[in-house]
Homo-oligomer: A and B are copies of this chain.
Amino acid sequence: MREVAVIGIGETKFGELWDKSFREIGIEAGLLAISDSKIKGEEIDALYIGNMSAGRFIDQEHIAPLVADYVGLAGQNLPATRIEGAGASGGLALSSAYMAVASEVHDIVVVGGAEKMTDVSEVYAQEILASTADQEWESVFGATFAGLHAMIAKRHMHEFGTTREQLGMVAVKNHKNGALNPNAQYRREMALEVVLRAPMVAEPLGLFDCAPLSDGAAALVLCPLDKAKEYTDNPVRIASCGQAGDFMALHDRRDICTMDATVVAGKKAFKYAGIGPSDINLAEVHDNYTISEILAIEDIGFFKKGEGGKATEEGKTALNSEISINSSGGLKARGQPVGATGVAQAVEVVRQLRGEAGDRQVKDARYGLTHNVGGTGASVIVHIFEGGV
């Protein structure tokens, strides 16, 4: 198989974009990435789109050719494919696009992620999120998505002494980073006291331990690494991708304090890339709840199991510390348009590896990692990127 590079990135502002439709945010992110890559539209061979639930959010299935059409590429009969893996939809779209280029089926591929979540009621949106857990054994009995993550948090606190404050510190750090990101949904810092006294959603998780519902889209342009310099001076190599799954329902898992799919996906990605966790300079991990970031940084191998909360408290995950975690602000502050997440994570890592992240630039970054989770951990996809190639 041949090597693959990212040669273009684009993303919309994330937030409650009530004046823009699904197709409009899809177009915006796609055109930004195409323009950034300096390719011509007619050079594009295929489009992959990550999206969780357009069927329910906007009553529209079959959204991949819809975006290809409205971005102006239907006239060239562009192949367009949608990938769905709940919260991991964007990352899985990226890995499908990566394989399409690696297998030599396609040369230049655009991969996008998009979700429009705020045009339905909050209650209906939460019901849709819960439909990514096991409908027959979890959601139907009233388990909400936050409730399932609250159980993980309680158990982690019980097993390892992780504190309520440490959970809150994940939110504080990510809001600090998000304040530096012009595309973030929440561009304001948040004091720990504010996080701790927020209304309770599912004990111990308060309102500010939960990533928001958002609208937004992100896109990348991929091409074979050996052609990348024809388009850009600073291509970023996709060093590897690793995907893993797990039981759908939380009660079937070996241990809810460890996300086995993250452990396995991470090991695959590190093995193929030929590097280890200590080589990574920055990572965008799936912090849909504050506890999720703590599990992620342990399960990927940045910190020992049970020490993620302590590492956060000691500032080891802050911008330009031991490892910069969620420099974009993460799902927590940048926002969480579900299908866009995995692609937006890659946009941030590529931006950092190109040295274009402005006030939140991670210094001397060579390797970046993205970690994207579907459901409560039944799908995980990890990508490793290398800059300066």
Is residue A104 within 8 Å, beta carbon to beta carbon, of the partner chain? yes
Extra pairs beyond A61-B131, A74-B246, A105-B241 (15, CB < 8 Å): A53-B55, A56-B56, A60-B135, A62-B248, A64-B379, A65-B378, A69-B248, A74-B252, A74-B378, A77-B246, A77-B260, A77-B261, A79-B244, A80-B245, A96-B99
Which residues from B are CB-within-8-Å of A139?
59
- 7 nearest interchain CB pairs? A103-B103, A79-B243, A65-B378, A62-B86, A62-B132, A60-B135, A77-B244
5 contacts between A and B (CB under 8 A): A60-B136, A65-B374, A79-B245, A79-B265, A80-B245
Q: How far is the CA of A56 from the CA of B60 in the complex (A)?
A: 11
The verdict on A68 contacting chain B, using a C-beta distance below 8 Å, is yes
User: Closest residue to A4 on the B side, CB-wise?
Assistant: B103
With a cutoff of 8 Å between Cβ atoms, the chain B residues found around residue A81 in the complex are: 83, 85, 92, 96, 243, 379
**Known pairs A81-B96, A85-B82, A260-B77; A55 contacts B245 (CB<8 A):** no
A131: which of B52, B60, B69 is its contact (CB, 8 Å)?
B60
CA distance A166 to B304 in the complex (A): 70
| Chain B CB within 8 A of A58 CB | yes
Could you say which residues of chain B place their CB within 8 Å of the CB of A83?
81-84, 96
Q: A123 in the interface, Cβ–Cβ < 8 Å?
A: no
Asked if A384 lies at the interface with its beta carbon under 8 angstroms from chain B, I say: no
Q: How far is the CA of A134 from the CA of B75 in the complex (A)?
A: 16
Q: How far is the CA of A163 from the CA of B133 in the complex (A)?
A: 50
Contact A99 B92 (CB under 8 A): no
A58→B245 contact, CB < 8 A: no
A246 CB to nearest chain B CB (Å): 6
**Is A256's beta carbon under 8 Å from chain B?**
no
Min distance, Cβ A75 to any Cβ of chain B, angstroms? 8
The answer for the CA separation of A139 and B61 in the assembled complex, in Å, is 12
Residues of chain B within 8 A (CB-CB) of A343 are none
A268 CB to nearest chain B CB (Å): 9
Cβ of A150 under 8 Å from chain B: no
Partner of A66, one of B58, B75, B79, B248: B248
A264 in contact (CB, < 8 A): yes
The answer, yes or no, to whether A17 is at the interface (CB within 8 Å) is no
A80 to B378, CA, bound (A): 9
A61 to chain B, nearest CB (A): 5
Across the interface, do B65 and A375 meet the contact criterion of CB distance under 8 Å? Answer: yes
In the complex, are the beta carbons of A74 and B245 less than 8 A apart? Answer: yes
Q: Which residues from B are CB-within-8-Å of A105? A: 1, 99, 102, 241
Q: How far is the CA of A52 from the CA of B84 in the complex (A)?
A: 10
Contact pick for A82, options B56, B80, B84, CB 8 Å: B84
Closest chain B CB from A41 CB (angstroms): 13
Chain B nearest CB: distance from A59 CB in Å?
A: 5
Q: How far is the CA of A197 from the CA of B85 in the complex (A)?
A: 45
Cβ-based interface call for A128 (8 A): yes
What are the residues of chain B within 8 A of A59 when measuring CB–CB?
131, 135, 139
What string of 1s and 0s marks CB contacts (under 8 Å) between A132-150 and chain B? 1111100100000000000
